[in-house]
A and B are shown apart, each in its own frame.
Chain A
Amino acid sequence: MQNYSFNAQLSFFQKLKNFDYILLCCILLLGLISAFSMYSTDGGQILTHSRSHILKFLIFFPMMIVLSFLNIKFWHYFAYFFYIIILIFLIWASLYGIKASGSQRWINLYFINLQPSELMKIAIIACLAKYYHREQLNKVNTLQSILIALIILILPIMLVISQPDLGTAILIASSGLVVVWLAGLNIRYFIYSILTLLITLPFAISFLKPYQKLRILTFLNPDRDPLGAGYQIIQSKIAVGSGGLTGKGFLKGTQSYLEFLPEKHTDFIFTLFAEEFGFIGSLGLLLIYIVVIYRVIRIGAISRSYFAKFFCYGYGSAIFFYVTVNMSMVLGLLPIVGSPLPIMSYGGSSMLATMIGFAIVMSAKINHKHLIS
């Protein structure tokens, strides 16, 4: 086991047998639901958004299955490398990125416009998982260890904030912090940093972009400016609320097809779904996500290697963050920060990153008995 041979001892059929089919079904189900939702946002037709979204799912889902056959050691081996590549992409984006709606998030890879910050959500978990995989418990709380972890965290966060993309930055930070927390960093440090955060928050707010400040104000009182900044959240709540118990029916969401809903393809896709399928539908969708998170965490629990454990726990928590932040946002529980709903929201990079994450998790499942030295 000293040498890294990526096709480990398991045969193809053994691997196939080790797949987590429940997780696979849930992902497929989410893909299906997202296809129908996207079809609805296009007003009951297959237009650009639905076509592109379905196509991306049809490419990335098989890709995920293929990647799952890679041994977990492969991911462990290349974790730092991925992290550095994505970090370079981020720097590239901040220098030569494509500008759209006030921020510079994308890089042009000719066949796809990639949003490296989405990939960073996965890379940071993998990187920190590898970092803590080796770290002895007694060394976790040394100054040197903390500093390295902080650097790993802060570099991408700063880059993403500067794009500016607060939502993604927060998600990257929280995904990374979960791994740090799991690694056993003294609880004191968390308490200290939360206190420091609270104290510096007023100062930090003064550094926010005007539109970000506005979002916070709007969150605190959406009726402040119902046709301006508060419009999105008010219309979103109307859409969700008017859905009722059973919803208005597929393709009958008036809020969406009469274009009252903002950004219905991306961040607000859940709103459309909730309007058309009601409380029961929303609960069902939420349940699928909960099952996904549960399965991912369970894989972490049965994994023998620390890397797999850290990654699965980290990734499960990350999905939890994506889902809850997105839903809380559209339900008016959090200020509006750009955060897509995994698989459901339109966006290639997000889908790609999510699928890579699932591929690593699946690989951990297949190789859960393996130890990585």
Chain B
Amino acid sequence: MLNENFGVKKIHIISRRMFIIGAAQFIVFSGIIARLFSLQVTENKKYLTLSDKNRLREWRLPPVRGEFLDYFGNIIAGNLKIYQLHVIPEQVEDFRYLILRLKTILNLSNNDFKKIIKQKNKQKNWETLIISKNLTWEQFTKINYFLHELSGAKPVLSVSRDYPFSENYTHILGYVSEASEKDIIDNEKIKNNHVPGLKVGKTGLEKTFENKLIGTNGVQRYEVNAYGKRIRQIDYKDGLKGKTIRLTTDTEIQKLCNELLKGLAGSISVMDIYTGDVIAMQSSPSFDPNLFLFGINQDDWQLIRNNPLKPLVNKTVSGLYSPGSTFKPMVALSALENNIVSKDFKVNCTGITEMYGQEYHCWKKKGHGIVNLKSAMKQSCDTYFYEVARKLGVDRLKETSIKFGLGEKVLNENFSNEKKGLVPDTTWKKNYLGKGWVLGETLITGIGQGYILTTPLQLCLMTAQLANGGFKIYPKITVGENDKTAEEIKFLISESLKNPNEKKHKRLFKDPKNIELIREGMFASTNETRGTSYASRIEDPKYQFAGKTGTSQVKRITKEQRELNLTTSQIPYEERDHALYVAFGPYKNPRYALSIVIEHGGSGSSAAAPIAKKLFKLIIDRHEQREKTRNDKSLKI
């Protein structure tokens, strides 16, 4: 009985307790269903986004860089198809065998080989390993020949920057190279379009116009797995190519400039005196910018960097030189404009002038005798210009010089490294050196020595503005859409000449006769006997040009040295004078101006002027072609 009683009770307890468990189960299951509902229905959007973020990845493709054209539409910085060799280690059965085989086929150096192995160990197994960034055609054909035994190696067509005229455009264009961290931080556009290995402009116009040239990325969307491996392509979007930029330069002239400067340190600039187009602008020595495309090797870099002639400096815009006698036209003009002297003003040159116990020498020891404005310019008589400068004063001289573009950047912001140069005056000296101006400094400024510093391009601009009759021009190196043609500018100038109150074109003079006097002086200097560059003249009126030589001292000459009367070759290179020459032509109907600076060349008449003679022929010969191109509407950009 007792047993049975307990039995009934036991059954009851079991059932009751099971009921409690059942109720608990019901609650728990409800909780799980609620959780499922909240995850899958309420928060579905959030998790769907997270899941897409997991599986979709975008790959940006390198943007295609805009090109540079010269005035005639020749590509001077283009995009070259190059052959690269890629290997995806994951797809290679025997990586060691493959890489050793490639090493022999491509003739890889041990150093390159080590670099590749290092890179391989750094990246994931399915990431592309670039064995060679730029295969030569022979290497490429050889690889293709052996391809059947090189499973896993992939010859690939890619795009790279290319400078077909190598060193001819180095300083104008600059070069591109892999973007550095700083490039990415400094430039928003580079940051937005960056892909590993992206090449950006490092110097020159490549850097200046980076934002126009860079273009936009193409985008590939891939589905990837948890390990980042691409499974399939979902989407593809083409990028936009960067803008093409057309320059005003003439590659033929540029090439000749480069040739004429071979072995020398210096610069040549050629400019259209009406449009301000920079026709050529070469700094020497130059180097091949193509070397930088795939990372320059250390030997080449050291060679460029340690060259005493400083190939890395763009001397045309950042080289600062005393203008020497090429500054004399400015002095003469300023004196005429300010009515300090007339064209008949005469000075007796004895070869030496004394002032306050200080001797000032003319370059000609025996002196030029009695000289007037024209003969003083012709023979570059220093004594005459000492006297004119003394009467004129440095402040008025500065006023005229600034008007003609000295002391200011010529190409605005086109070259980040362009220098302003320096035209001194009394206030400048007081502010910067804290000392009063002394008269002796005026004298040497009168012959383009002392504090005054100019860039070769400034001298070219100065000459161009004298050549066009004294009118302001705005130099430029890129072709713009709304550029005025030379004819339009000429017309404005003639209008302005007819009517002095006409302000359509900015005049840099008060009396056109003064400009004419200077031009005559320069003509005489080149085309009349005893002119300093008489030896470099061209008699054919088609090519005839007028110029002014300059020889600027880099070191003060002591009395003893003066008496030694050394020839150029006897002086150490760094102490030799800079040779300068500015000119414009053809004289009868001028169109082009140029400036030549040869560092430590000796004298302007012997080192610089002969270069102008060789150059002018080509410049004038190319003129017709240039005019034809100007009217070619298909080239307008």
Contacts and interface: CB of A to CB of B under 8 A. Distances in A.
A40 interface: no
B564 interface: no
B438 to A, nearest CB: 75
Contact of B18 (A255, A279, A313): A313
Contact of A254 (B37, B46, B55, B227): B55
Interface stretch (B218-226, B349-357, B473-481): B218-226
A137 B231 contact: no
Interface stretch (A119-127, A164-172, A282-290, A357-365): A282-290
Given A254-B55, A255-B54, A278-B40, A242 B48 contact: yes
B223 A324 contact: no
A183 B10 CA distance: 8
B51 A239 contact: yes
Contact of B40 (A235, A279, A328): A279
Contacts of A274: 36, 40
B50 interface: yes
B196 to A, nearest CB: 22
A279 B37 contact: yes
User: Chain A binding site: helix, strand, loop or mixed by DSSP?
Assistant: helix
Interface in A231-263: 235, 237-245, 254-255, 258-260
A215 interface: no
Contacts of A35: none
Contact of B29 (A136, A258, A286): A286
Interface stretch (B20-28, B127-135, B365-373, B420-428): B20-28
Contact of B36 (A138, A238, A279): A279
B35 interface: yes
A306 interface: yes
Contacts of B17: 181-182, 184
Contacts of B55: 254-255, 258, 260
Nearest to A234: B50
Bin chain B's interface residue count: 35 or more
A327 B40 CA distance: 14
Contacts of A137: 6, 9-10, 13
B40 A297 contact: no
B1 interface: no
Interface in A278-330: 278-279, 282-283, 286, 290, 293, 297, 300-301, 306, 309-310, 313, 317, 320, 324, 327-328
B3, B18, B227: residue with the most chain A Cβ atoms closer than 10 Å: B18
B39 A240 contact: yes
Interface in A162-213: 178, 181-184
Given A258-B223, A259-B227, A327-B32, A237 B40 contact: no
A244 B49 CA distance: 12
A297 B22 contact: yes
Contacts of B39: 237, 240-241, 331
Given A243-B40, A286-B33, A184 B14 contact: yes
B180 interface: no
Contacts of B231: 258
Nearest to A242: B51
A177 to B, nearest CB: 11
7 closest residue pairs by CB, A with B: A241-B47, A242-B51, A279-B40, A258-B225, A259-B226, A244-B44, A184-B13
12 contacts: A238-B51, A241-B51, A243-B40, A254-B51, A260-B54, A279-B36, A293-B25, A317-B25, A324-B25, A324-B32, A328-B35, A331-B35
Interface of A: 136-138, 178, 181-184, 235, 237-245, 254-255, 258-260, 274, 278-279, 282-283, 286, 290, 293, 297, 300-301, 306, 309-310, 313, 317, 320, 324, 327-328, 331, 333
